[in-house]
Amino acid sequence: MENTPLIDPFARPIDYLRVSVTDRCDFRCTYCMAEHMQFLPKKELLTLEELDRLCSTFIRLGVKKLRITGGEPLVRRDIMTFFRSIARHLDTGDLRELTLTTNGSQLAKFADDLAALGMKRINVSLDTLDADKFAKITRWGRLEQVLKGLEAAKRAGLKVKINTVALKGFNEDELFTLIDWCAAEGFDLTFIEVMPMGEMGEDLRLDQYWPLSDVRKAMAERFTLTDLAESTGGPARYVRLEESGQKIGFITPLTHNFCENCNRVRVTCTGELFMCLGQEDNADLRAPLRASEDDAALEAAIREAISRKPKGHDFDYSRQTVSGQMSRHMSHTGG
């Protein structure tokens, strides 16, 4: 098998892989899942061994950063077996970073173990610091449990970035509360525009849409904002708040397409490879994984898919209609 790195048709090296390990979650956030989700039958999900093979193949092909997502990854049974196994690539230096996006509910249980195997940072999704509002938006979640998890992560030495979805009429009044809290806790903070995915019914996204240009404007009334040139190769653009020294990120899939330097692909928990979060085109990696114990067919399927990676996506909320809208839930692709 050749080990030529993965380069897409636009000469972008693909060195960042996001893998969903489960579609299940212990929350039901309104913008991510339906309340009564039909979860996938177990046999459709990649086993932990298959996930290891898949990630290891991508790492052999040049992936340097691996982010594990869900659903909520830490509710997957025996997930630490997978983490401990895949961490061998950190030891060899083939993988530069192993990280996790979580809702924080299970961190009190797992933070020490994650830090021990070489994880340095995690992203925690948190949209409000108000316990009642938290219960409302997550439907099943308890804020206190997440705050305990964050404490455990801090104690374990994990660097925490809080991801907050900006939701009009929901957390507008908490903008500065969240900023001040993150400053006090030593957490980074990134705001994310709500995306047009999943059922657009009862909680119509257009009603929730709070453009980050407005968030930024509100912040500028209290802070001096300095644009930072740095890029993590990801979609966030960063500013520094001069008064507190904090770094705040903005992820704006709608008002700014962040595709030019896209270095990432995503694999769902059933082994579908999505070359772009905002496009439906995908490739089935589960079939080649299960067809042979040899990785040649899997590698060929990955290379073929990367050759179809598009230049960008096309979300747009203009004129009160949603173009580029997709039918799958965020929980399906893994955030």
The full 3-state SS of 118-131, as one line of letters, equals CCCEEEEECCCCCH
pLDDT at 2: 65
| 29 annotated as ligand-binding | yes
Q: What is the DSSP string of 36-47?
A: T--PPPGGGSPP
| 240 annotated as ligand-binding | no
Q: Is residue 293 part of a domain?
A: yes
Q: Is residue 36 part of a domain?
A: yes
Span 182-208, mean pLDDT? 74
Q: Which pLDDT band holds residue 142 (cuts at 50, 70, 90)?
A: very high
Q: Is residue 9 part of a domain?
A: no
| 161 annotated as ligand-binding | yes
Find, among 109, 315, 45, 48, the residue nearest to 194 by Cα.
315
Write the CB contacts of 139 (distance below 8 Å, at least 6 apart in sequence): 27, 28, 29, 30, 35
Q: To the nearest whole number, what is the mean pLDDT of the chain?
A: 88
CATH label of the domain that carries residue 150 = 3.20.20.70
Q: Is residue 2 part of a domain?
A: no
| 56 annotated as ligand-binding | no
Q: pLDDT of 273-322, one tens digit each?
A: 998 876 778 999 999 999 999 999 999 999 999 999 888 765 444 433 44
| 31 annotated as ligand-binding | yes
| 32 annotated as ligand-binding | yes
Quick check: 134 and 173 in contact, CB under 8 A? Answer: no
- pTM of structure: 0.89
Kindly tell me if the per-residue pLDDT of 203 is higher than 90. Answer: no
Write the CB contacts of 63 (distance below 8 Å, at least 6 apart in sequence): 6, 14, 15, 16, 17, 55, 95
Q: Which pLDDT band holds residue 141 (cuts at 50, 70, 90)?
A: very high
Q: Is residue 154 part of a domain?
A: yes
User: Who has greater pLDDT, 233 or 149?
Assistant: 149
Compute CA distances 115 → 78, 100, 319, whole Å. 17, 11, 47
Torsion of CA 173, 175, 181, 184, to 10 degrees: -140
* Total count of domains within the chain: 1
| 88 annotated as ligand-binding | no
| 209 annotated as ligand-binding | no
- Provide the token pair at 292: 């042979």
| 269 annotated as ligand-binding | no
Q: How many CB atoms lie within 10 A of CB 115?
A: 17
| 290 annotated as ligand-binding | no
Q: Is residue 205 part of a domain?
A: yes
Kindly tell me if the per-residue pLDDT of 110 is higher than 90. Answer: yes
Quick check: 246 and 259 in contact, CB under 8 A? Answer: no
| 222 annotated as ligand-binding | no
Quick check: 230 and 238 in contact, CB under 8 A? Answer: yes
Q: Which pLDDT band holds residue 257 (cuts at 50, 70, 90)?
A: low
What is the C-alpha to C-alpha distance for residues 196 and 206, in angstroms, rounded to an integer? 9
pLDDT at 311: 83
Instruction: List the domain range (segments joined by +) for residue 314.
Output: 16-333
Residue showing tokens 């580029």: 324
Q: Is residue 3 part of a domain?
A: no
| 276 annotated as ligand-binding | yes
Cis peptide before 335 (omega within 30 of 0): no
Q: pLDDT of 37-88, one tens digit each?
A: 888 999 999 999 999 999 999 999 999 999 999 999 999 999 999 999 999 9
Q: Is residue 1 part of a domain?
A: no
